[in-house]
Amino acid sequence: MSNFSLNIHIRTLFLAVGALTIALLGSGCDHDTDVFDGPSLVDRFGEFELLEPLGIDRATVDFSAGESVTFTARFNKRIDWVLVITGTESGAVKRIEGFENELSADNARWLGGTTELPLFKNELCMVELIIPEEDSLTMTGEVTIVGAKIYDGAVYADFETDAGSNIFVGNFEFELTPASGRTNSIAAGQGDYCWFFQGTDNVVSNFFVGLIDIQAAVTGETYAPVPTTVPEDLYFNCMVYSDGGLYGLAVLQLIYDSNDSGAFEDGQDQVFALPDIALDFEGWRLFSFQVGELGLSEQQLSKIVNIRALLISQMNLQPNPPLQVDYALDYLIFTAGGPLEL
Amino acid sequence: MSRTIHHHLYLLAGGFLLLFSNGLFAQDQGAEEEKKIRFNGLGRTFLQNTEIGGEILNNDSTTVRSLTDGEFLLDLAVNATPNDQTEVQTILRLRNEFGGFFGAGVTVEVRELWAKGIIANVLKYRVGDMDHAMTPYTLYLPEEEGMVNEPEIFRPQKEVIYYEQFYTEGNRRRLQGAKLDFGLAFGQGLREAEVSGFIARIRGTDFFTTPSRFVGGGRIGLLSQNFGASTRAKLGLNLIHTWDDLQSGEANNGIRNLVYTADFDLRIFEKENLALHLTGETGQSSLEFKEDSLSVFDESDSFLEVGATLKLKKHGLDLSAGFVDVGPDFFSTGAQSKRIDFDREKTYYQRIGNDRQLRMPTLFDLGRDRALYTYQLSDRLMPYDPRYSNTQPYGQATPNRRGLRLGARYASPKKGWDARLDAGLMKEIRGQGTFELKDFLLVRALANLNFDQMAEWEKQLRLTLGLQYEQTQRGGLPIEEVDLSSTLIEAGLQAELFTRFDLLLGLKFLTASGNDYIPLIEEFNDVKDFPEAYVVDDTETLLGGGFRYRFKEGIYLTLQYQRFDFSRATDPAHDYRFSQFFVLYNMNF
């Protein structure tokens, strides 16, 4: 290679590197400054000021008509806040939490749902806005529900009306107490009534205390209406109340009309058992099961003719003599696409 | 476990030496008479007694009032040159802690092991332990805080720390791996080209979730011929990559940190009494955190530094000015890892007082406690103390800074005195906790006055001075305001009373007052929180006096007394002081 061509190569190299350097120099001062690093110092250390107290955009609300309630408030800094709405009759609680400097329709809008069962009903609700970091500063308000939220899904039974012969009570060993049955003596999970089981397995020691068969006719149809026939998309939901006793067990079964008779025949129709529910909690809880996981096919789930609920006493755990066990059942509902959204 | 590892290392080193020794002695039998094996190293003995006192000890029954510690140490370096192209060295360390009896507390370990050579008279290589540096934004070990011009009396302790942490000249980092370099000379246009590359493992895997970590990179340096009378250009292209090997152990997540830069030094002209250089570096970093080959964190940013240096040779004066812009997300593990880790546990008086309060590192600790120092690369921005450094706690590569650097250096032609003045006027690029930006002012000055050379005395008489003034301010809402200032003053006197017998006196004085917010960084450079408002009104005073006898170059004995006082005006009940007697015998051979 001649000296001349070498010189040209070297010059080219220097020019290329120089151009690269200039390009880097040009881009060297361009940085992301749209945000700042870390949490806001005002949020972190600033004195809290209430700029606008709790506001409620309506005094009454009809959730069944699609209405909602928006709560408003403004602070000088972002801070943890908790909005607690409590039904004065049902005891239902809706909790909305946030870390913002403002409550608005974006973060504090209530569509009628609940956080802790039971569900709200038509009732007066007390509203509390709590700022935990500010000595639990609390602001209060009221809103009245004139139309409770209607949940998506196909309700199977909610015990609000007397089902008559569509609910069969199996007290075969006379172990259920007279308190068992449709009742409003305890706050229902939804509405005013629920079904209450109470008894002691002290007549025939076989774990079994009692049962009810809720036939599909309670819905006015031959078979349980379901919002979808895709097993993987169909969910069975029910609310169960327990007083925290240690020895009770709730067993629920979906029963398929396997002989295609259009009616429930014990011993002939096929039973699909849901996982046992240990009654070791207190209050109402929602239990949801994917029907497909229970083994029902598309054809079978369209012919659910009965739902059986049993009260079991876990005798292997019970002291001697055994103690009374109980639970309540409410709002059996099929939903599509996922569990019931409270 | 540690002893087993030491034992294995010992055997390994022994075998290593034996291997080469056989070859060497065989060669010694030949005609060559030159020495093939050389022994050198370092011996060190120190004892120190530290007493604590002060307000914090009132009614305190838990804190030990006095501690004595020390060590006896011998580093034996065995250096061998089996042939003209190869050199190997190991340093075997024998160490006994003060108070160890009959073998208790004694450790034997291999401190260093390397081999280097040249292949075909062209390609240089080195394997094993090595010290390497590239540029201040790629691979570089920035200076530690709390020091401008360390008084001579405090240097022996610092030298112990430097030696233990492998801090060497040129801000090089200690690595373990291999490097290659070669140079090419040209006849026209381009005068020289130097190419170097290295790879090192900086962390081993635990065979579970922690992967091995490697760093590798290289540099191409080009030097042009003179254009015209004296114009000449130096250009460097640099690349460094730090990565986790996700094939090691059971690890499934790790980092990728790539930095590539270009640096230049353009000599505009150079005359007998005057020279002008344009210098600078610019580049880009990218940081990625991968989990199962998916990138869950990815950011990149750039930096730029340009400046000019005017050398007034006749007057011994260099003047420099430059502009710097380092992006807030610029991340370079090789350049931003600090020497001091303020989170490390101190070896003495970690907690003091009845309430066992965690004692924060002070000037006294920075001069005494090697446990606070590290040479490891950190994958996050390490904590810092704004009293000692707030403008550039991570050295030149400190991210989120934009501003000017000014400097002046003077050295008298007769070497009677020299001085240096550096200033930085910086501003944040992106706010922390607010959109308001902090302004920084940093002034560092030092002077060395060699009275013996001025007056042409035979015996040494030298005064050293150092000053650092730093101010940080931010406006905005009252809660966002920052106003922190600190001043560090250093003075040292070295007077040779008799031949090789020196009187040493020294002072370090720090005041810091005001408020700031110190970011808590848990990963990379992400500000997680500001744990609390940082409010200080501190005074630290370190006084030292002692003697030193220099047997010969590198061999000395020094006996010193140091007193340190710490006071915090906002919390006077926790004031304390240290008194320390200290004797050190150091022998380089």
CA distance B386 to chain A (A): 18
- Domain A41-147 sits in CATH at 2.60.40.2550
- What secondary structure letter does DSSP report for B380? B
The answer, yes or no, to whether residue B89 has pLDDT greater than 70, is yes
The class of domain A154-336 in CATH terms is: mainly beta
> What CA–CA distance (Å, rounded) separates A301 from A229?
7
Mutate to test the interface with A, among B135, B190, B234, B299 (most CBs of A within 10 A): B190
Asked if B527's CB is within 8 angstroms of A38's CB, the reply is yes
What are the sequence ranges of the domains in chain A?
41-147, 154-336
Residue of A nearest to B189 (CA): A7
Asked if B189's CB is within 8 angstroms of A10's CB, the reply is yes
Beta-bridge mates of residue A204: none
Asked if B306's CB is within 8 angstroms of A38's CB, the reply is no
Q: Residue A174 belongs to what H/E stretch?
A: none
Question: A274, A277, A275, A288: which is closest to A333 by C-alpha?
Answer: A288
Residue B28 confidence (pLDDT): 44
Residue B20 confidence (pLDDT): 41
The answer, yes or no, to whether residue B188 has pLDDT greater than 80, is no
The answer, yes or no, to whether residue A211 has pLDDT greater than 50, is yes
Which residues on chain A are in Cβ contact (under 8 Å) with B479? 41-42, 45-47
The answer, yes or no, to whether residue A325 has pLDDT greater than 70, is yes
B435-467 pLDDT, tens digit per residue, is: 999 999 999 999 999 999 888 889 999 999 999
CA distance A266 to chain B (A): 54
* Cα–Cα distances in angstroms (integers) from residue B105 to residues A141, B111, B587, in the given order: 72, 17, 22
Which residues on chain B are in Cβ contact (under 8 Å) with A36? 430-435
Mutate to test the interface with B, among A22, A34, A36, A101 (most CBs of B within 10 A): A36
Asked if B329's CB is within 8 angstroms of A31's CB, the reply is yes
B277-333 pLDDT, tens digit per residue, is: 999 999 999 999 988 778 888 999 999 999 999 999 988 999 999 999 999 999 999
The CB-based long-range contact list for B416-423 (8 Å cut-off, 24+ gap) reads B416/B449, B416/B450, B416/B453, B416/B454, B417/B447, B417/B448, B417/B449, B417/B450, B417/B454, B418/B447, B418/B448, B419/B445, B419/B446, B419/B447, B419/B448, B420/B444, B420/B445, B420/B446, B420/B447, B421/B445
Name residue A83's amino acid.
Answer: L
Nearest to A24 among B233, B282, B400 (CB): B282
Q: Grade residue A162 by pLDDT with cuts at 50, 70 and 90.
A: very high
> What CA–CA distance (Å, rounded) separates A193 from A121?
12
Residue B116 confidence (pLDDT): 96
Question: B147, B185, B556, B585: which is closest to B389 by C-alpha?
Answer: B147
Token pair of B507 as six digits: 């002072």
Asked if A6's CB is within 8 angstroms of B186's CB, the reply is yes
* Cα–Cα distances in angstroms (integers) from residue A19 to residues A24, B81, B189, B238, in the given order: 9, 46, 18, 16
Q: B372 near B341, Cβ under 8 Å?
A: yes
Which residues on chain A are in Cβ contact (under 8 Å) with B430? 31-33, 35-37
Asked if B429's CB is within 8 angstroms of A31's CB, the reply is yes
Residue B23 confidence (pLDDT): 40
B480–chain A Cβ distance below 8 A for any pair? yes
- Domain B121-588 sits in CATH at 2.40.170
Residue spans of alpha helices (H) in chain A: 3-27, 41-45, 291-294, 298-301
CA distance B7 to chain A (A): 48
Residue of A nearest to B519 (CA): A38
Give the Cβ contact number of residue A217 at 10 Å.
20
The backbone torsions φ and ψ at residue A27, rounded to the nearest 5 degrees and listed phi first, read -95, 0
Asked if B431's CB is within 8 angstroms of A36's CB, the reply is yes
| Percent of chain B topping pLDDT 70 | 93
Token pair of B21 as six digits: 């020794």
DSSP string, B246-287: TTSTT--EEEEEEEEEEEEEEEEEE-SSEEEEEEEEEEEEEE
Q: B263 near B238, Cβ under 8 Å?
A: yes
Q: A110 near A68, Cβ under 8 Å?
A: yes
The answer, yes or no, to whether residue A12 has pLDDT greater than 80, is no
B519–chain A Cβ distance below 8 A for any pair? yes
3-state secondary structure at position B213: strand
Q: Compute the average pLDDT of residues A104-124.
A: 95
Q: Compute the average pLDDT of residues A196-205.
A: 89
CA distance B204 to chain A (A): 32
Least confidently predicted of A205-209, A235-239, A337-341, B552-556? A205-209
B105-135 pLDDT, tens digit per residue, is: 788 999 999 999 999 989 999 999 999 999 9
Name residue B262's amino acid.
Answer: A
Q: Grade residue A15 by pLDDT with cuts at 50, 70 and 90.
A: low
Residues 6+ positions from B342 with CB-CB distance below 8 Å: B360, B361, B372, B382, B383, B384, B385
Nearest to A25 among B235, B304, B517 (CB): B304
The answer, yes or no, to whether residue B30 has pLDDT greater than 50, is no
CA distance A108 to chain B (A): 26
Q: Compute the average pLDDT of residues A252-273.
A: 92
3-state secondary structure at position B13: helix
Residue B365, judged by CB atoms within 10 A of its CB (0-12, 13-18, 19+), counts as buried
Residue B506 confidence (pLDDT): 97
Which residues on chain B are in Cβ contact (under 8 Å) with A21? 235, 262, 264, 282
Residues 6+ positions from B104 with CB-CB distance below 8 Å: none
Residue B463 confidence (pLDDT): 97
Q: Residue A287 belongs to what H/E stretch?
A: strand A282-290
* Cα–Cα distances in angstroms (integers) from residue B329 to residues A61, B404, B438, in the given order: 50, 20, 17
Least confidently predicted of A105-109, A172-176, A233-237? A172-176
B185–chain A Cβ distance below 8 A for any pair? no
> What CA–CA distance (Å, rounded) separates A288 from A297?
18
Question: B54, B164, B46: which is closest to B109 by C-alpha?
Answer: B164
* β A109-110/A69-87 pair status: antiparallel
Residue B373 confidence (pLDDT): 97
The answer, yes or no, to whether residue B232 has pLDDT greater than 50, is yes
Q: How many CB pairs under 8 A join A and B?
A: 110
Residue of A nearest to B227 (CA): A11
A288-323 pLDDT, tens digit per residue, is: 999 999 999 999 999 999 999 999 999 888 888 999
Asked if A29's CB is within 8 angstroms of B189's CB, the reply is no
Residue A173 confidence (pLDDT): 86
* Cα–Cα distances in angstroms (integers) from residue A48 to residues A80, A137, B354, in the given order: 11, 11, 35
* Cα–Cα distances in angstroms (integers) from residue A3 to residues A9, A338, B193, B476, in the given order: 10, 79, 17, 63
Residue of A nearest to B482 (CA): A41
Residue A129 confidence (pLDDT): 96
Residue A18 confidence (pLDDT): 65
Indicate if the alpha-carbon torsion angle A255, A256, A257, A259 is positive or negative: negative
CA distance A37 to chain B (A): 5
For chain B, the straight-line distance linking the first and the last C-alpha, in angstroms and rounded, comes to 32
Mean pLDDT across chain B: 90
Asked if B530's CB is within 8 angstroms of A21's CB, the reply is no
User: Where does B22-105 show beta strands of DSSP type E?
Assistant: 37-53, 66-83, 86-97
pTM over 0.80: no
* Cα–Cα distances in angstroms (integers) from residue B330 to residues B193, B214, B257, B288, B339, in the given order: 29, 20, 10, 12, 19
Residue A203 confidence (pLDDT): 86
Give the Cβ contact number of residue A240 at 10 Å.
23
Give the Cβ contact number of residue B237 at 10 Å.
18
Q: Grade residue B16 by pLDDT with cuts at 50, 70 and 90.
A: very low
> What CA–CA distance (Å, rounded) separates B537 from B571?
9
Q: A73 near A103, Cβ under 8 Å?
A: yes
Asked if B304's CB is within 8 angstroms of A36's CB, the reply is no
Residue A11 confidence (pLDDT): 59
What are the sequence ranges of the domains in chain B?
1-49+75-120, 121-588
Question: B226, B256, B442: which is closest to B331 by C-alpha?
Answer: B256
Nearest to B530 among A24, A41, A47 (CB): A41
Asked if B235's CB is within 8 angstroms of A14's CB, the reply is yes
Which residues on chain B are in Cβ contact (under 8 Å) with A17? 222, 235, 237, 262
